[in-house]
Amino acid sequence: MDHVISGVAKFQKEVFPEKKAAFKKLANGQNPEVLFITCSDSRIDPNLVTQTEPGDLFICRNAGNVVPPHSNQTGGMTASIEFAVAALGVTHIVVCGHSDCGAMKGALAPEGLTALPHVKEWLGHCRVATEVVKEKCGCDSLNKDDHLQLVTEENVVQQLQHLRTHPAVAAKIATGQVQLHGWFYNIETAEVLSYDEKTGEFVPMDSSFATEEALVANK
């Protein structure tokens, strides 16, 4: 904890003075372009990976980068998504999964989550991903690492589908004001894959993606 506390002091003394004008502007409001939904995993730093500054991303994090389907029951994710889209006016939503995801490991082996009942229930939102991969590829034919990556990628696709059930998101998609993006981030290599709706595959992302239309069809 000491290094965390000393980090605050370093931020105040060294980092903040260089960006004082930017923070002064941010003190009076925010105008992020992107809602970035990713895992709570401590190894993921959205601003570092995307090289963005404070105010650029509206970040929502939870175990497994889950987006529960819309319902009449209010939850933190539902409220945050609605606020980002309807109040802040974000124009892009990214759902980003990652390699070696503990939540996806749990989704693949729910019988091991008996002592974590809330985690087990939460990961029920990922069951579709495990079933889709099982149906498409089988389990016996896959090695452990490939199986985990396929489920992690499929989970991103399913959470994008869940996003479309949220009224605020659906309305903005229908009018072309919001685009959806599905990403997979490899911690070890820094590679980022982007979901291509046309092919149904995750493909390497490079600088050309910055000027292309969203790869996920806004249906």
39 is known to lie in a ligand binding site: yes
101 is known to lie in a ligand binding site: yes
User: What count of Cα atoms within 13 Å lies in the side-chain half-sphere of residue 109?
Assistant: 9
Distance CA 58, CA 63 (A): 17
- Residue 80 CB neighbours (<10 A): 17
98 is known to lie in a ligand binding site: yes
41 is known to lie in a ligand binding site: yes
Distance CA 31, CA 178 (A): 15
Instruction: Decide: residue 176, CB within 10 A, 0-12 exposed, 13-18 middle, 19+ buried.
Output: exposed
Cβ pair 90, 35 in contact under 8 A: yes
Distance CA 28, CA 80 (A): 20
Instruction: Please report, in range form, the residues annotated as the binding site.
Output: 39, 41, 98, 101
Binding residues for Zn(2+): 39, 41, 98, 101
